[in-house]
Amino acid sequence: MNNDNGSVGLVQTKTLTFAHPPDELILESGARLGPITLAYETYGKLDSQRSNAILLVHALTGDAHVAGYHTHADRKPGWWDWMVGSGRPFDTDRYFVVCSNVIGGCQGSTGPRSINPATGERYNLDFPMVTIGDMVAAQRYLVDELGIDRLLCVAGGSMGGMQALEWAIRYPERVASVIPIATTSRLSAQGIAFNQVGRRAITADNKWNGGNYGVKPDELPAEGLAVARMLAHITYLSEEAMHAKFGRRLREKERYGFDFSIDFEVESYLQHQGESFIRRFDADSYLYISKAMDYFDLPRQYGSLQNAFAGVQAGFLLLSFSSDWLFPTVHSKEIVRALMVNRKDVTFCEIPSPYGHDAFLIENEAMKRIVPAFLNRMASSGRH
């Protein structure tokens, strides 16, 4: 653990369980889910008016641990640590910051590998399909439990940006502002295709066993999950970033091996990404959450993107990155245009970056300036 200036320090993951039968959460598919447990973390303090709460929502393989450390032995902090803390963009001296793991996840929230109370066994593929809307509906229970009537902001990147958009549309009176980053109003055919290949890698693993695999390391569909991660990780980077970081450099050798062992640094890097991922994520959860991203389609759901945003009340800050080819800037501009047609409060910035889709996770000065300025405007505008 590093004693970073401004760090929130040691934090603890908490859980909330709700939607007990017969009051289960009714999902968009029509299925019922309950009881539901959400894992979450909080940072900072809620003010006396309960008006300074910010909900951070994570991307596909994220979790509730957005900042700080769980133990003194932790080597790395939470996934957005540089954004959350004293004096940081989501300033915990000013704001009460909340982050929860989505339903369908595997980091403490109810998901396919949770125990089904009706059977006493793991849900596995008996777990119902969930959507981005279902994830947000579950988060609303948490916000209610914390006594927050109106969020100052909902912010997140990638799938987190989808959730932020959903919050603004589904609960317009509950959200003063949203910051969707490197996101889209609907996944492209290319994005769906990449997700399908990743899922196919998992289901083709002999150990997947129809989703009914064991819990021991040698019982997991690790190879399939690792390949899915390797493929996805390529989409998170840009060609420029990969060239700068790896080029065609060989891995600990001076000439080609003329076999199928690892020759190139980039091969070694991707293998490491796959191997480290299987230690922290679940294969069935990957199937469910990636499918939820595929189903997200605001224009289809509301008839048009303009219709989708007709009733929103929040102020919007949309950020994109110049080298993001997975959710390119044109996707953010489509959202901006729909908001402008509806005469909504919207600010947009494309941030120059060589790091591709993952740029929102990498510390950058532009976000460190833009985000707090926007939050300050929202907090002082009386919206909350």
> Does residue 81 have an active-site annotation?
no
Cα–Cα dist 67/44, whole Å? 11
> Does residue 158 have an active-site annotation?
yes
> Does residue 23 have an active-site annotation?
no
Name which of 6, 127, 113, 108 is nearest 58 in CA terms.
108
Amino acid at 190: Q
Say which of 63, 357, 358, 384 is annotated catalytic. 357
Name which of 222, 198, 161, 209 is nearest 286 in CA terms.
198
Residues 190/294, Cβ–Cβ less than 8 Å: no
Element (H, E) at 100: strand 96-100
Say which of 284, 324, 332, 353 is annotated catalytic. 324
Cα–Cα dist 190/274, whole Å? 22
Give Dmax over CA atoms of the chain in angstroms: 68
Name which of 157, 151, 96, 291 is nearest 211 in CA terms.
291
Neighbours of 281 (CB within 10 A): 19
User: Is 61 exposed, middle or buried, given 0-12, 13-18 or 19+ CB atoms closer than 10 A?
Assistant: buried
| Chain position carrying tokens 């080819």 | 325
Say which of 51, 109, 114, 158 is annotated catalytic. 158
Residues ≥6 apart with Cβ < 8 Å to 92: 8, 43, 44, 84, 85, 86
Q: Which residues are catalytic?
A: 158, 324, 357
